[in-house]
Amino acid sequence: MAADLTILFRDPHVIAVDKPAGLVVHRGGWARERDVAMVRLRDQIGAHVFPVHRLDRATSGVLLFALSAEVAARVCESFAAGLTEKTYLALVRGVPPEEILVDHPLPPGEDSHAPRVSAQTMIVRREVFGRYSLVEARPLTGRLHQVRRHLKHISCPLIGDVNYGKGEHNRLFRERHGLHRLFLHATRLRLPHPIEGGWLDIASPLPAELAAVLCTLRESH
């Protein structure tokens, strides 16, 4: 039996959970497995839930669902209008500038040959550990794998990224730090409340396996 998801926030209209790495948000496309976040949460709370955004399978952190189709439509409008603020923590190879706006067009979806569209991510450097850095990434648009692709674009590939990262550094972190996942965590989601007004501000703590890597890096630098 699948473990219950940690609920970060719930009211009569929306519910936010802490998605673990390795769990798909919902079925569709290449995701055919039975255990997906949407179904697991539905069974956990005994009510239908409606996805309003996505996190990659390999990414952990804040994941929001609506509790009705009407609320889902309103939340999706906020995402489409750029009214949501998403923040990720990522460990990368390299030392980026203290702050940089990556403005690099990307394909809008899975088809890498599709015409590229505008894509922007703000990258803020938080800590440096020799040749590695902890960064905060704030995507201003919502393209597939945007944070991962933009970090690769500035030559700061994500640790643990088998698609856009560097195998030698991924192996080093597996062997030295026991890290067997992508070091990318959605730490915060801020958006207008779809019904009550005001702002929802939902945070997720760094998972233990990622916090342990940072602790080791800090001790050695």
Catalytic positions are 56
Q: Using an 8 Å Cβ cutoff, are 192 and 199 in contact? A: yes
Please report where in the chains the tokens 């990258």 appear, as a residue: 123
Determine the Cα–Cα distance for residues 15 and 9; give it in Å rounded to an integer: 6
Closest to 147 measured CA to CA, from 91, 84, 63, 94: 91
Alpha-carbon distance values, 12 to 37, 49, 146, 148, 201 (Å): 19, 12, 31, 34, 16
Q: Using an 8 Å Cβ cutoff, are 121 and 147 in contact? A: yes
Alpha-carbon distance values, 159 to 70, 129, 169, 177 (Å): 39, 13, 7, 12
